Structure 1
Amino acid sequence: MFTRHYKVWPKDLPKTMTLPQTSLFTNLAITAQRYPDHNAIIYYDTAFTYRELLADVEAMAGYLQEKGVKKGDRVLLYMQNSPQYVISYYAILRADAVVIPVNPMNRAAELEHYIADTGAQVCLAGQELASFITPLVANTNLDTVVIAAYSSYLRKPTDLELPAEVAASPAPISQPGCVAWEAALALNISPSAHTAGPDDLAVFPYSSGTTGAPKGCMHTHRSVMATAVHRAFWNLSTADTVQLATLPFFHVTGMTSSMNSPIYSGSTAVIMTRWDRTTAARLIERYQVTGWTNIVTMAVDFLSNPDLGQYDLSSLNTIGGGGAAMPEAIAAKLKTLTGLDYIEGYGLSETMAATHINPTGQPKAQCLGIPVFDVDSRIIDVETLEEKGPGEVGEIVSHGPQVTVGYWNRPADTEAAFIEIDGKRFFRTGDLAYYDEDGYFFMVDRVKRMINASGFKVWPSEVEGLMYRHPAIHEVCIISSPHEKRGETVKAVIVLSPDSEGATSEEDIIAWCKEEMAAYKVPAIVQFVDELPKSPTGKLMWRALQEAEWQAQG
């Protein structure tokens, strides 16, 4: 067991934690019983109590079961942050089914993969996304789409600026297999008894590897429970904690920090559908927000607001996040403004958010943090698997209660992702790092071929696979290019087919990509070349292109 970090372990916290032997849904049921009239959600000035939240969850769970959803079935959740997202998530769990959180930026090709891979027959979708998912009812396994208009949960006037998709009125629904959210709830069907336990499957966040299509990380109620409980205790959350929810709920960090953990502790989540720095500041002041988990790009934008000084931010007592290292200059500006250190952490879809977090009393800058409750993390040599010592660079491997049990329908990938050390099963993260004498971990590089654009992970092989659908593309290699704000951005190096040379422009390629894939995956830069570098065996030498790009950009 890695224990070097115990010397800096928070004094008020135990080093191990016994987790509840119940389902994640049970957290909501218990909290609603304890604090029925306490606000669970505040959504652009409309408040919803835990009693109201649970009632809608029960009704939607009953509808899902009426539509044939059975224990262990997978259900797509394709929405932006909203009360309906929280209700959908917990309704799926209440129905003993498995949540498949889908990035709202995903489009037809990606949605088809999720449906085929999971066998999902039901999807709960935001109204603004309906046009991407409803056509698939006719030609995939999908047979039911519940469509939610976010504005239906705005039940009192607000002076806050509303995103277009939040302000939009409910649109009429006539497509076969589609039903309005309100119509589904109005049936008020009582679900059967909840039977899911800690070892049943609960959530499959999708994560790509270095090859192939995205794959589902199988998380049980136990592994999702772990990060929900761990976070609540690490931040000393109570029912009086107020969390600003700006990270997307489909992503494990937002899911854990701003939804599952607050529900466990009975806290209030102040939910934003779209990021807006002025609205965020107004909400912090108006609702005395105490905690905010974000990504670096949000923090940078928030601190760049020239009017920030006019808002009272004194209620904040924790600010932190992950996805990329926080620049020292930005962290210093935040400290001057709020008196708070930016608490960085580290985790993956495979670990349902954090395995490492900086101790709030002794954080280190640009640091992943220390292993949290019951997490055993080591640094190993990528090739020999030999364990490394302090200051030696190697791959992070982690064992803990939040680690995925494996990849859905991919036994070979699952086997390759784990190794055994000291009789325990460790997940290979693919990230290169080292730890110091105090047990703090620091990121160095990535073993896996991945682009990190503002915290969004872009997997080149997936983007390449999608781009090969373009008839003008003969060969393509996706690499990263340095970007002042995003850290990295996506670049496509393309060999055009002979009959497309001179007839296809870089702009044509980018416009096509915007129609076919999530916005964060779309190449910001396209370069046409005569040929791509290859090894004597014909293997694409992507690393040579990658290194040349970064050298050329300085």
Structure 2
Amino acid sequence: MLETIRGLLEGKPGDAPAVLAPERETLDYASLRDLCDRTVERLNALGIGRGDRVAIVLPNGPEMATAFVAMASAATTAPLNPAYREEEFAFYISDLGARALVVAEGMETPALAVARRHGARVLRLRVPAGAPAGWFELEPEEGGGAPRAARPGPAEAEDVALVLHTSGTTSRPKIVPLLHRNIVASTRHIGEALALSPADRVLNVMPLFHIHGLVAAVASSLAAGGSIFATPGFDAIRFFRWLDESRASWYTAVPTMHQAVLARAARNPEIVERRRLRLIRSSSASLPPQVMRELEATFGCPVIESYGMTEAAHQMTSNPLPPRPRKPGSVGVPAGPLVRIADPSGRFLPAGEEGEVAISGPNVTPGYESHPKANAEAFFEAEGRRWFRTGDQGRFDADGYLTITGRIKEIINRGGEKVSPLEVDNVLMEHPAVRQVVTFALPHPKLGEEVAAAVVLADGAEVNEHELRRFAAERLADFKVPRKFVFVTEIPKGATGKLQRLGLAQRLGLVE
């Protein structure tokens, strides 16, 4: 059982805090273990067992966190974004082959009609009055018995614990299955990188239908015997109130969230001083070095930038804790799996040379489900190991630190000259008038693609296109300088808060 999510809870003091939430009583480890075991029995009695897929559509919060842990102890979890529309739910629930759908009691969602059409059993998650944070009961929408689960009992290490879809920005979304042992390995990697202990408490603001929040915040904290303060989701205004109430020692987020926190920090100096964090973690997108510097200056703690993705059960590399150096603009050193830079033929490249990041380790998915072509393209054999191509371009420096220069599909090809949009982003972020920026490809009739940038200005700042172009030209080769700047009040973000680069020209109305 130790190589399972349920196994992560073993050996923790029963009265130690596990899950907390705003204005709720605390759920301890003994109660969380009991909840998991009750959920296994309940799902089995409803005909749902190991390998059966349970779609979870719940708002962010303590019950979403514990539903993932408890239901993965019995079946395969498939958390879905509650904001999806009916046609999106129809695709995901059908593609998953979900046996059941879990929704909150009283919750209305288009997922209900979809589940009923597909014959998936609807289970209502009910929170009893006065229950501690995360405690729930499951009630089927329709009564009546069901045959016992075909594969009952607690999940095992080789069972699939979690299935998530790729973003599908350039192709049909693919199912990424993650085994219990993949997730357990990743929690160990994260715990070692951050030196997590029972004394730590994470303030979770990440959505729990995404690998970042599920593994980096929830599962890794439980693996270390720490605790989770589960919020309803990111809210820059309420963030500091939660920080004060939670007494958290760390939080993990995407760069856009960190920027929003910084924008409010000056209004909450007493809380920042009173609730000193041990560390701040950033992942899922590149953190501008300027934002890292401002976070460290504001909160007086190290900012640890990491590199993760769904196929790796999240973490692949991480900047180390002090006293080892952190390198702004770098995602750090390998932190769990083996990490190499490969050329298109699968040959590994030395430090300083740019190529595709490849990984191999116990946290890596066995492969995309029902996608032999995608697996043939993504996996290769070398040095007696199976390697996964991440789709990211990067290079190692002489000290073994990895710098990501962009998603290969996002690299701008300007008349044969390759431009890393991340490099341009980082330069423009150094301008004092710029709060956010995304560099993107703009179709061009002769060059194929031209370099463009969408810019959000800092409050009260003024700058024009000519000034920004001159600023960039002083720091970049001419072919990398954006020829077009678009000033916007907000840059489109994905469901997890990541800025959207692909297709931005279309979304901004720059092309038909």
Q: Name the TM-score class by shorter chain.
A: 0.7 to 0.9
The one-letter code of the counterpart of 1:98 is: T
Offset of 1:209 from its aligned partner? 5.0
Offset of 1:386 from its aligned partner? 2.9
Match of 1:308 in 2: 268
Alignment partner of 1:385: what SS?
A: coil
Alignment partner of 1:367: what SS?
A: coil
Match of 2:342 in 1: 380
Of the three residues 32, 40, 64, the one matched with 1:85 is 64
C-alpha separation in 2, matches of 1:482 and 1:80: 34
Alignment partner of 1:335: what SS?
A: helix
Using the TM superposition, name which of 41-50 and 425-434 deviates more: 41-50
C-alpha contact 2:346 2:382 (8 A) present in aligned 1:
no
Match status 1:40 vs 2:3 = no
Match of 1:324 in 2: 285
Match of 2:163 in 1: 204
C-alpha separation in 2, matches of 1:314 and 1:370: 29
C-alpha contact 1:78 1:129 (8 A) present in aligned 2:
no
C-alpha separation in 1, matches of 2:377 and 2:151: 39
Match of 2:312 in 1: 351
Match of 2:224 in 1: 265
Q: Mark the CA change 1:103 to 1:307 in structure 2 (over 3 Å): closer, same or farther.
A: same
Offset of 1:430 from its aligned partner? 0.7
C-alpha separation in 2, matches of 1:414 and 1:396: 16
C-alpha separation in 1, matches of 2:155 and 2:132: 33
Offset of 1:127 from its aligned partner? 5.4
C-alpha contact 1:368 1:441 (8 A) present in aligned 2:
yes
Match status 1:24 vs 2:5 = yes
Match status 1:369 vs 2:332 = yes
Q: Which runs of 5+ in 1 are unaligned?
A: 1-19, 157-165, 456-478, 487-513, 526-542
The one-letter code of the counterpart of 2:326 is: P
Match of 1:143 in 2: 121
C-alpha separation in 2, matches of 1:57 and 1:549: 44
Q: Which runs of 5+ in 2 are unaligned?
A: 412-420, 426-434, 437-449, 458-491
C-alpha separation in 1, matches of 2:70 and 2:114: 23
C-alpha contact 2:21 2:231 (8 A) present in aligned 1:
yes
Offset of 1:121 from its aligned partner? 1.8
Alignment partner of 1:304: what SS?
A: helix
Match of 2:297 in 1: 336
C-alpha contact 2:65 2:230 (8 A) present in aligned 1:
no
C-alpha separation in 1, matches of 2:151 and 2:37: 10
Write the deviation string for residues 60-116 of structure 1: whole angstroms up to 9, x where unpaired.
332222221122111111223222112321222222x11112122322222222222
C-alpha contact 1:147 1:179 (8 A) present in aligned 2:
no
Alignment partner of 2:6: what SS?
A: helix
Alignment partner of 1:324: what SS?
A: coil
Q: Mark the CA change 1:443 to 1:518 in structure 2 (over 3 Å): closer, same or farther.
A: closer
For CA contacts below 8 A with separation 6 or more, give which structure has more relative contact order: 1
Alignment partner of 1:205: what SS?
A: strand
Match status 1:178 vs 2:141 = yes
C-alpha contact 1:59 1:191 (8 A) present in aligned 2:
no
1:389-538 aligned within 5 A: 389-448=350-409, 482-484=453-455
The one-letter code of the counterpart of 2:197 is: T
Percent of aligned pairs sharing the same letter: 23
Write the deviation string for residues 1-55 of structure 1: whole angstroms up to 9, x where unpaired.
xxxxxxxxxxxxxxxxxxx853221112x14xx3211211111131222222233
C-alpha separation in 1, matches of 2:193 and 2:274: 22
Write the deviation string for residues 230-277 of structure 1: whole angstroms up to 9, x where unpaired.
212221212121111111122111111211011112211111112223
Match of 1:294 in 2: 253
Offset of 1:138 from its aligned partner? 3.2
Q: Mark the CA change 1:416 to 1:76 in structure 2 (over 3 Å): closer, same or farther.
A: same
The one-letter code of the counterpart of 1:131 is: T
User: Alignment RMSD, CA only?
Assistant: 4.0
Offset of 1:549 from its aligned partner? 10
Write the deviation string for residues 424-451 of structure 1: whole angstroms up to 9, x where unpaired.
1100111111111111111112123699
Q: Mark the CA change 1:233 to 1:196 in structure 2 (over 3 Å): closer, same or farther.
A: same
Q: Mark the CA change 1:148 to 1:255 in structure 2 (over 3 Å): closer, same or farther.
A: same
The one-letter code of the counterpart of 1:54 is: R
Q: Mark the CA change 1:437 to 1:518 in structure 2 (over 3 Å): closer, same or farther.
A: closer
C-alpha contact 1:328 1:365 (8 A) present in aligned 2:
yes
C-alpha separation in 2, matches of 1:404 and 1:376: 14
C-alpha contact 1:42 1:48 (8 A) present in aligned 2:
yes
The one-letter code of the counterpart of 2:17 is: N
The one-letter code of the counterpart of 1:59 is: R
Offset of 1:326 from its aligned partner? 2.0
Offset of 1:226 from its aligned partner? 0.7
The one-letter code of the counterpart of 1:103 is: N
Match of 2:484 in 1: none
Match status 1:58 vs 2:37 = yes
Q: Which runs of 4+ in 1 moved over 6 A?
A: 153-156, 189-193, 450-455, 517-521, 545-550
TM-score (norm 1): 0.69
The one-letter code of the counterpart of 1:307 is: R
C-alpha separation in 2, matches of 1:227 and 1:518: 24
